[in-house]
A and B are shown apart, each in its own frame.
With several copies, the nearest count.
Chain A
Amino acid sequence: MSTIAIPNETLPRTGIAATLPAPAPLADADRKPLTKKETAADHPTWCPGCGDFSVLALYYKLIEKRKMLHENICTVAGIGCSSRFPYFVQAHGAHFIHGRALAFASGVSLSRPDLHVFVFGGDGDAFSIGGNHFTHTARKNIKLTYVVMDNFVYGLTKKQTSPTSPIGFKSKTDVGGSTDRPVNPMKQAISAGATFVGRATATNLPHLLKLMEAAMDHDGFSFIECLSECIEFFPGAFDAAVPRKGGTFTEIPSEHDVTDEYAAYKLCDAPWPGVFGTFYKVDRATKNANEAKLITDSRAKLAGVPDWQILQRNFDRMK
Chain B
Amino acid sequence: MSDNTSTATTNDSSRTSAITESVIRIAGDSQDGIQAIGGFLARLAGRSEQEVMTFMTIPSTISGGPSIFQVRIGSGEVLSAGDEADVLLCFYDHSYANHISSLKRGGIVLYDSDHVTPKEDMLSVYRHVGVAISSLTVEAIGGTGRDKGKNIYALGLIARMFDLNVPKLTKLIEERFGGKDPSIVTNALNCFNGGYGHQIQGLIESFRFEHAEKTGAPQVVMSGNEALAYGIIAAGVRFGAGYPITPWSEIMELLRRELPKYGGMFVQTEDEIAAISMAIGGSYAGRVSVTGSSGPGISLKTEALGWASMAEMPVVVIDVQRGGPSTGMPTNQEQSDLNIACFGGHGDSPRVVLAPSSVEDCFYTAIEAVNIARKFSTPVIILSDQAIATRIEAFPCPDLQNICQDISPDFTPVADHKPYDLTATDGVTRHIAPGTRVASGKYPVATGLEHDELGHPTGSGKLHTQMNAKRRNKLRKLASELPVPKIYGATEGHVLLVGWGSSKGPIEEAVKLGRSQGEAVSGLHIKYINPLPNGLENLFNGFTHVVVCEINDEGLYGHGQLASLLRSRYCDPRIKSVTKTDGLPWKVKDILTRALALTK
A160 contact set on B, CB distance < 8 A: 244, 249, 253, 268
Q: Which of B436-481 contact A (CB under 8 A)?
A: 436-449, 456-457, 478, 481
Q: Is the CB of B435 within 8 A of A72?
A: yes
Q: Is the CB of B221 within 8 A of A295?
A: no
Whether A254 is near chain B, meaning CB under 8 Å from some CB there, is no
Nearest A residue to B59 by beta-carbon distance?
Answer: A45
Do A21 and B278 form a contact, CB below 8 Å, given A8-B405, A96-B448, A97-B303? no
Closest CB in chain A relative to B264 CB, distance in Å: 8
Q: Which of A1-41 contact B (CB under 8 A)?
A: 1-9, 11-16, 18-25, 38, 41
Task: Give the distance in Å from the alpha carbon of A1 to the alpha carbon of B394 in the complex.
Answer: 12
Stretch at the interface among A111-119, A200-208, A244-252, A255-263: A111-119
Stretch at the interface among A59-67, A220-228, A272-280, A309-317: A309-317
Q: Is the CB of B439 within 8 A of A1?
A: no
Instruction: Write out, one digit per residue, whether chain A residues 134-147 have a CB within 8 A of any chain B CB (1) or not (0).
Output: 01100000000000
Q: Which of B416-436 contact A (CB under 8 A)?
A: 416-418, 421, 423-426, 428, 430, 432-436
Task: Give the distance in Å from the alpha carbon of A273 to the alpha carbon of B231 in the complex.
Answer: 43
Q: Is the CB of B271 within 8 A of A99?
A: yes
Nearest B residue to A90 by beta-carbon distance?
Answer: B443
Whether B279 is near chain A, meaning CB under 8 Å from some CB there, is yes
Whether B581 is near chain A, meaning CB under 8 Å from some CB there, is no
Closest CB in chain A relative to B120 CB, distance in Å: 31
Instruction: Write out, one digit per residue, whether chain A residues 51-92 have a CB within 8 A of any chain B CB (1) or not (0).
Output: 000000000000000000111111010010100101100111
Closest CB in chain A relative to B303 CB, distance in Å: 6
Closest CB in chain A relative to B415 CB, distance in Å: 4
A175 contact set on B, CB distance < 8 A: 256-257
Closest CB in chain A relative to B314 CB, distance in Å: 10
Partner of A295, one of B64, B265, B418, B483: B265
Task: Give the distance in Å from the alpha carbon of A33 to the alpha carbon of B220 in the complex.
Answer: 56
Interface size of A in residues (CB-CB distance below 8 Å): 105
Whether B274 is near chain A, meaning CB under 8 Å from some CB there, is yes
Task: Give the distance in Å from the alpha carbon of A254 to the alpha carbon of B410 in the complex.
Answer: 47
Whether A161 is near chain B, meaning CB under 8 Å from some CB there, is yes
Q: Which of B251-268 contact A (CB under 8 A)?
A: 252-253, 256-258, 260-265, 267-268
Whether B145 is near chain A, meaning CB under 8 Å from some CB there, is no
Whether A302 is near chain B, meaning CB under 8 Å from some CB there, is yes
Q: Is the CB of B443 within 8 A of A20?
A: no
Whether B270 is near chain A, meaning CB under 8 Å from some CB there, is yes
Task: Give the distance in Å from the alpha carbon of A106 to the alpha carbon of B279 in the complex.
Answer: 9
Partner of A6, one of B252, B262, B375, B437: B375
Stretch at the interface among B125-133, B280-288, B562-570, B582-590: B280-288
Task: Give the distance in Å from the alpha carbon of A71 to the alpha carbon of B409 in the complex.
Answer: 14
Nearest B residue to A10 by beta-carbon distance?
Answer: B410
Task: Give the distance in Å from the alpha carbon of A283 to the alpha carbon of B222 in the complex.
Answer: 44
Task: Give the distance in Å from the alpha carbon of A137 to the alpha carbon of B9 in the complex.
Answer: 66
Do A319 and B260 form a contact, CB below 8 Å, given A72-B435, A99-B271, A107-B278? no
**Residue of B398, B426, B428 with highest tally of chain A CB at under 10 A:** B398
Q: Is the CB of B274 within 8 A of A71?
A: no
Partner of A16, one of B233, B265, B405, B418: B418
Task: Give the distance in Å from the alpha carbon of A91 to the alpha carbon of B436 in the complex.
Answer: 10
**Residue of B246, B311, B445 with highest tally of chain A CB at under 10 A:** B445
Do A157 and B443 form a contact, CB below 8 Å, given A106-B278, A291-B265? no
A312 contact set on B, CB distance < 8 A: 400-401
Task: Give the distance in Å from the alpha carbon of A152 to the alpha carbon of B243 in the complex.
Answer: 16
Whether A47 is near chain B, meaning CB under 8 Å from some CB there, is yes
Whether B69 is near chain A, meaning CB under 8 Å from some CB there, is no
Do A310 and B261 form a contact, CB below 8 Å, given A14-B418, A87-B456? yes
A93 contact set on B, CB distance < 8 A: 443-446
**Residue of A158, A312, A314 with highest tally of chain B CB at under 10 A:** A314
Whether B304 is near chain A, meaning CB under 8 Å from some CB there, is yes
Q: Which of B301-319 contact A (CB under 8 A)?
A: 303-304, 307, 311
B447 contact set on A, CB distance < 8 A: 94-95
Q: Is the CB of B270 within 8 A of A106?
A: no
A287 contact set on B, CB distance < 8 A: 267
Q: Is the CB of A90 within 8 A of B441?
A: yes
Q: Which of B147-173 contact A (CB under 8 A)?
A: none
Q: Is the CB of A315 within 8 A of B440?
A: no
Task: Give the distance in Å from the alpha carbon of A96 to the alpha carbon of B305 in the complex.
Answer: 11
Stretch at the interface among B358-366, B513-521, B542-550: B358-366
The 9 closest A-B pairs by CB, nearest first: A107-B281, A15-B424, A103-B277, A15-B421, A92-B434, A20-B415, A308-B404, A18-B415, A298-B260
Task: Name B's A-contacting residues (CB within 8 A).
Answer: 43, 46-47, 61-64, 175, 218-222, 226, 230, 233-236, 238-239, 241, 243-246, 249, 252-253, 256-258, 260-265, 267-275, 277-287, 289, 296, 303-304, 307, 311, 326-327, 358, 360-361, 363-365, 367-368, 370-372, 374-375, 395-398, 400-401, 403-407, 410, 412-418, 421, 423-426, 428, 430, 432-449, 456-457, 478, 481-483
Task: Name A's B-contacting residues (CB within 8 A).
Answer: 1-9, 11-16, 18-25, 38, 41-42, 45-48, 50, 69-74, 76, 79, 81, 84, 86-87, 90-100, 103-108, 110-112, 114-115, 128-129, 131-133, 135-136, 154-158, 160-161, 163, 172-175, 232, 287, 291, 294-295, 297-299, 302, 306-312, 314-315, 317-319
14 new A-B contacts, CB < 8 A, other than A71-B437, A308-B234, are A2-B361, A21-B439, A46-B63, A95-B449, A97-B304, A106-B278, A107-B280, A107-B289, A110-B265, A128-B270, A132-B271, A157-B244, A173-B252, A174-B256
Ordered by A's residue number, 28 sampled pairs between the chains whose C-beta atoms are within 8 Å are A2-B358, A12-B426, A14-B417, A14-B421, A15-B430, A22-B415, A23-B413, A46-B62, A47-B63, A71-B434, A71-B435, A79-B327, A86-B445, A91-B443, A93-B445, A97-B327, A103-B274, A107-B278, A107-B281, A128-B270, A173-B244, A173-B256, A175-B257, A298-B261, A309-B400, A311-B400, A314-B230, A315-B398
